[in-house]
Amino acid sequence: MVVTGSVESLLECRQVKKHYGALKAVDGINLNIAAGETIGIGGPNGAGKTTFFDLISGLTAVSAGQVLFNGQAITGIAPHKLFHMGMARTFQVTSGFGSLTVLQNMLASVVNGSGNEEAGLLLSKAHREKSMSCLAEYGLADIADDLVSNIPVLDRKKLMVASAVVHHPQILLLDEPVGGLMPAEIDEFIELMINLRGKGTCIVFIEHVMRFLTTVADRALIMHQGKLIYDGTPPGMAADPLVKSVYLGSEADEMGGD
C-alpha cells in the first residue's frame, strides 16, 4: 500500500511508536511539521526525545506508525538516503572523526552527502572550496587544519551543524545543540541558528536549555513518557499546568524569565 501524506506537511508522524519490551520509549506521536518552522522539543531525561529523532531519521526502526517526508512514507529508508533526500541530523553526543582534520571532516560530508554514490572519495577543487566556504560561515576556517580531537567542544558542535547543513537540507534535526556549552557560547549558537532559520531551513531541535529553546523556536513541543504533552508557543509552556507538573516543577518561574 502506498501511503501519502498532506502536501502542506514537510514531515508528518502518524502514531509513531517505539517499544523496548514493556518500555514505551515513544508512544504514539502524531505531528505535522511545515516547511520553514523552527521547533524546539523539551522534556525530562528519558522522555523519548532522542529515540523520536532516531525513528524520524531512520536510525531506529519504528515499532508501529508511519513517518512521511514531503508526503512520501520514509519508514525503513536508511539514514544516508534520507540525507540525500534533504533530511540532516546531528547527535546528542558530539560526533566527528577525531583523527581527521576539521577540513577533512567537512570534505567527508561534502563528498558523501552529494547523493552521487559513484563519487567515492575523489576530491575536487570544487569540493574543497565548498567545504572551506561552509567552514568560514561557521567561524571554523582558521582551524581547518586542526585535528578534530584537539578542538574545543563549541567548535565540534559547530562542525557537526556545518557538516549537516552543507547540502542545504529541507529539514535539520539537532539533538541538544548547546548541551554543555557556556552562556556566551550558547549566545553564539543562538546567532547561528537565527541566521539559519532566516534562510528558510526547517529546524527541529531537542534542547534542555530553555533560554535557547524559547529564543530560537517559534513552536515548542514537550515530551513526557514517550508522548507529546504540549504543542504550542514557547512562552505558553510556562503557564501550562501539565508541563509545569511533569517537567518544570520548581523551575517553572525560571522559564518565565529571559
Q: Which of ligand ATP, Mg ion, none is residue 62 near (CB under 5 to 8 Å by kind)? A: none
Whether the CA torsion 190, 127, 90, 54 is positive or negative: it is positive
Q: Which of Mg ion, ligand ATP, none is residue 43 near (CB under 5 to 8 Å by kind)? A: ligand ATP
- Main-chain phi, psi angles of 167, to 5 degrees: -100, 20
Query: Would you say 92 or 101 has its CB closer to ligand ATP?
Result: 92
Contact 100, 148 (CB under 8 A): yes
Part in contact with Mg ion (CB under 5 A); list of ranges 44-52, 140-148, 159-167, 219-227: 44-52
Query: Would you say 111 or 223 has its CB closer to ligand ATP?
Result: 223
Q: Which of Mg ion, ligand ATP, none is residue 23 near (CB under 5 to 8 Å by kind)? A: ligand ATP
For residue 75 the three cell numbers come to: 519508514
Q: Is 51 in the site for Mg ion (CB under 5 A)?
A: no
- Main-chain phi, psi angles of 254, to 5 degrees: -60, -35
Return the residue of 15, 23, 80, 194 that touches ligand ATP, per CB under 6 A: 23
Rg (CA), the chain: 18
> For residues 90-119, which are near ligand ATP according to CB under 6 A?
92
Q: Is 50 in the site for Mg ion (CB under 5 A)?
A: yes
Binding mask 32-61 for ligand ATP (x = CB under 6 A): -----------x-xxxxxxx----------
Which residue type sits at 29?
I
In the complex, what is the shortest distance from the CB of residue 31 to ligand ATP, in angstroms, rounded to a whole number?
Answer: 15
Part in contact with Mg ion (CB under 5 A); list of ranges 32-40, 50-58, 149-157, 181-189: 50-58
- Burial profile 117-155: b = 16 or more Cβ within 10 angstroms, e = fewer: eeeeeeeeeebeebbbebbebbebeebbeeebeebeebb
Q: Is 25 in the site for ligand ATP (CB under 6 A)?
A: yes
Q: CA–CA separation, 145 vs 175, rounded Å? A: 26
For residue 24 the three cell numbers come to: 514505551
Query: Would you say 107 or 209 has its CB closer to ligand ATP?
Result: 209
Q: CA–CA separation, 177 vs 212, rounded Å? A: 9
Q: Which helix (H) or strand (E) holds 87?
A: strand 87-89
Binding residues (CB under 6 A) for ligand ATP: these are 20, 23, 25, 43, 45-51, 92
Contacting residues toward Mg ion, per CB under 5 A? 49-50, 92
